[in-house]
Structures are given as structure tokens and as C-alpha cells.
């Protein structure tokens, strides 16, 4: 945990008592670092500086290089995905988190040389009965080439896939295939997400909202800079799955005071909080809640609303949704 030292024990136990969700997590970026250390201690030393609370990456490229350097050596087989999913869920359950939306990256299918349904099975077979996981395939804006073409043409037939997510750098153009693939995903009953407005502009978010039938924005920080965009996400009932600690450590926000979460929440935009890539950010869901209390100056009522939003956005049986919301009330 990054921020347990700055929180008082009362806040810590209050956060622990809330039934929570995690709805923005890259599975390759979710491997608990200690697993990596246990595997190759000489290569991955016990306490690297990037896992510390005060550490900030120089920029997105620096973060990405660090992430790939730690994730790529590990994710070499479906078994590794299976093991990782188990470890991730155990950590979440210990924090009173009972619902997870996570994505695997399309590129891994080519690297490992397996098909999509195999990886989905490896991940989903690791989920215990008392936990809900929905699985997304993440693609980047130029994924429709080489082997990627066949995978993207095929995925709408994968019945066990719950949705798609547009990952990665926002400076590449939004290509025509994305519109087709996202529309097919929706027709197949899948959820459709996209990363936008993390480092990208208001125009970037607007383009994604205009062209893709998304139900969820990943980050979406830039929405707070434009009144019409705020109206649009409210009208379309789009949830923003935000990651304040990731934003701070990657410098998507210059400082805590300018993070848009409190402002968006006050404006009635449905926001949740999640960890993004804890493998190199070092955060937990609990840290995200502590950050809301300590650094974003949010009241307990506001923080409770964020927890509620997670369950409102979650696709779980009505009974589970009702019970979780009642527990929060
Ligand atoms: Zn992300």
C-alpha cells in the first residue's frame, strides 16, 4: 500500500469496510510485483523506487518502458495469466473488492502464439465463485494490421469475451476499423470502453464519443474542461473509470489540486476509481480511496458516491447489486 502511513487508522478501517469495485485494470499491469521478485530476485530487486508513494515517472514513455520491462518477461503462457488472475483476485478480496473489470492486450496473443478464446478460458477459470470478473480485450489505435486483422475480425464471435477497450497513446489517429469493430462488439452484446482524455485533449474525447458507441470512458479527465462534454457523458449515461494515483504518478495531472475527479463528481458525472497498472505504480484500490480522502479533499459522502458508482456501473445480478448498494447506504 502506498498511502497507509499518511492515513489515520479510522479512515483506513472505514475504507476497508466499504464493498468496492475495480473497473479499470490492465491484467499485464496487475501482476503483484512480489511474484516477479520471487521468480527472479536478482533481476527484479525487492524494493524498486517506482513502487514508492512519492515516485513519479518522467512521462508516459518512461512509464510504458518500465511497465513493458516488467510485464513482458512474465506473460509467456496462458498458465501465467491464470496464476496472475488468481493472485490479483486474492489481493482484491482482502481489500473488500468483489467485482473486477480487467483487460488483456491483443498483442500478447501474437507474442505467445495462442488464440483469444484460450486466454479468456485461462483467465476466467481462475475466478472463484464468490467473485465477479468481466474480461475485455484491449487494442491500440493501430492494432488492425498483420495478425491483428484476423483477431479483430473474429472477436465478436467469442462468446466469453465481455467487451473491448481502446488502449494506449491518444496521439495516433482514430482509424475507420475501430468504428466497425466497436459497433460489432455492441451488436454482440459486449461492453465498449475507450481510453481518452488521460493526456489527450477535449477534442480527443469528443472524437471518441462521436465515433465510437462506448458506454465507458477510461480516465476521461479532459471531460472536466468542457461543459458540453460533461453534458454529453451525463446524457449518454457514460461512466468515467478514473485512476487518480496513476494520473499523479504518470503526470497526467500536474498536482493533486488540479485533479478533475471532485469537480466531475459535483457536476453529476458518474465516476469510479481504479488502479490501472499496480505492477509499476505500486497502488491498491485502498490507496485510491485514501488518496480521495487525503489528497483530493473529498468528504466521506463524496467518497461513498464513488463506491456506489462502481456498483451502479457493474454488470452483476440485481440481487448482488442491491446488497452492495444497501451495505454502502
Ligand atoms: Zn488504463
Is 4 inside any structural domain? no
Q: Which residues are catalytic?
A: 198
Spatial distance between the Cα atoms of 259 and 224, rounded to a whole number of angstroms: 9
Spatial distance between the Cα atoms of 171 and 207, rounded to a whole number of angstroms: 12
Spatial distance between the Cα atoms of 296 and 256, rounded to a whole number of angstroms: 6
Domain holding 265, by residue range, is 9-328
For 23, how many CA atoms within 13 A lie in the half-sphere containing its CB? 32
Is 312 inside any structural domain? yes
- Centre of ligand 1 to C-alpha 66, Å, is 15
Is 165 inside any structural domain? yes
Looking at residue 106, which CATH number applies to its domain? Answer: 3.20.20.140
Closest CA to 182 of 150, 214, 159, 137: 214
Is 251 inside any structural domain? yes
- Residue numbers in the chain where pLDDT is lower than 50: none
Angle at 28 between CA 240 and CA 281, to 5 degrees: 65
- Centre of ligand 1 to C-alpha 326, Å, is 29
Residue 57's contacts (CB-CB under 8 Å, 6 or more residues apart) are 50, 63, 66, 249, 250, 251
Spatial distance between the Cα atoms of 105 and 119, rounded to a whole number of angstroms: 10
Give the model confidence (pLDDT) of 35-85 as tens digits.
999 999 999 999 999 999 999 999 999 999 999 999 999 999 999 999 999
pLDDT of residue 194: 98
Whole-structure pTM value:
0.97
pLDDT of residue 169: 83
- Centre of ligand 1 to C-alpha 10, Å, is 30
Is 1 inside any structural domain? no
Residue pointed to by grid coordinates 512509464: 63
- Centre of ligand 1 to C-alpha 46, Å, is 25
Spatial distance between the Cα atoms of 110 and 295, rounded to a whole number of angstroms: 41
- Centre of ligand 1 to C-alpha 281, Å, is 12
Is 2 inside any structural domain? no
Q: Are 25 and 275 in contact (CB under 8 A)?
A: yes
- Centre of ligand 1 to C-alpha 218, Å, is 6
- Centre of ligand 1 to C-alpha 25, Å, is 6
Backbone phi, psi, residue 177, to 5°: -60, -30
The answer for 96, left when phi > 0, alpha when psi is -120 to 50, beta otherwise, is left
Spatial distance between the Cα atoms of 329 and 326, rounded to a whole number of angstroms: 5
- Centre of ligand 1 to C-alpha 260, Å, is 17
Is 91 inside any structural domain? yes
User: In this structure, what C-alpha cell is assigned to residue 175?
Assistant: 482509424
* Count of domains forming the chain: 1
Amino acid at each position: 500500500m502506498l498511502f497507509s502511513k499518511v492515513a489515520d487508522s479510522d479512515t483506513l478501517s472505514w475504507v476497508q469496510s466499504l464493498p468496492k469495485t475495480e473497473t479499470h485494470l490492465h491484467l499485464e499491469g496487475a501482476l503483484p510485483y512480489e511474484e516477479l521478485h520471487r521468480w527472479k530476485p536478482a533481476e527484479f530487486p525487492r524494493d524498486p523506487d517506482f513502487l514508492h508513494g512519492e515516485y513519479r515517472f518522467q512521462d508516459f514513455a518512461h512509464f510504458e518502458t518500465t511497465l513493458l520491462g516488467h510485464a513482458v518477461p512474465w506473460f509467456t503462457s496462458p498458465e501465467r495469466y491464470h496464476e496472475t488472475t488468481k493472485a490479483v483476485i486474492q489481493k482484491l478480496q482482502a481489500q473488500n473488492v468483489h467485482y473486477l473489470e480487467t483487460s488483456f492486450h491483443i498483442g500478447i496473443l501474437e507474442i505467445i502464439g495462442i488464440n483469444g478464446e484460450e486466454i479468456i478460458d485461462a483467465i476466467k477459470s481462475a475466478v472463484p465463485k464468490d467473485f465477479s470478473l468481466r474480461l475485455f480485450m484491449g487494442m491500440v489505435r493501430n492494432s488492425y494490421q498483420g495478425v491483428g486483422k484476423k483477431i479483430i475480425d473474429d472477436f465478436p464471435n467469442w462468446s466469453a469475451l465481455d467487451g473491448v477497450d481502446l488502449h494506449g497513446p491518444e496521439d495516433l489517429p482514430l482509424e475507420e476499423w475501430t468504428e466497425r469493430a466497436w459497433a460489432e462488439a455492441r451488436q454482440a452484446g459486449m461492453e465498449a470502453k475507450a481510453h481518452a482524455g488521460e493526456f489527450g485533449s477535449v477534442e480527443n474525447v469528443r472524437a471518441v464519443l462521436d465515433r465510437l458507441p462506448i458506454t465507458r470512458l477510461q480516465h476521461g479527465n479532459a471531460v472536466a474542461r468542457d461543459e458540453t462534454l460533461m453534458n454529453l457523458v451525463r446524457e449518454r449515461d457514460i461512466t468515467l473509470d478514473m485512476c487518480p494515483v496513476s494520473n499523479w504518478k504518470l503526470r497526467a495531472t500536474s498536482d493533486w489540486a488540479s485533479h478533475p475527479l471532485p469537480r466531475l463528481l459535483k457536476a453529476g458525472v458518474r465516476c469510479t476509481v481504479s488502479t490501472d497498472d499496480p505492477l509499476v505504480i505500486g497502488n491498491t484500490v485502498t490507496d485510491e480511496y485514501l488518496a480521495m480522502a487525503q489528497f483530493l479533499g473529498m468528504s466521506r459522502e463524496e467518497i461513498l458516491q464513488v463506491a456506489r458508482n462502481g456498483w451502479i456501473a457493474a454488470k452483476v445480478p440485481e440481487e448482488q447489486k442491491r446488497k452492495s448498494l444497501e451495505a454502502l447506504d
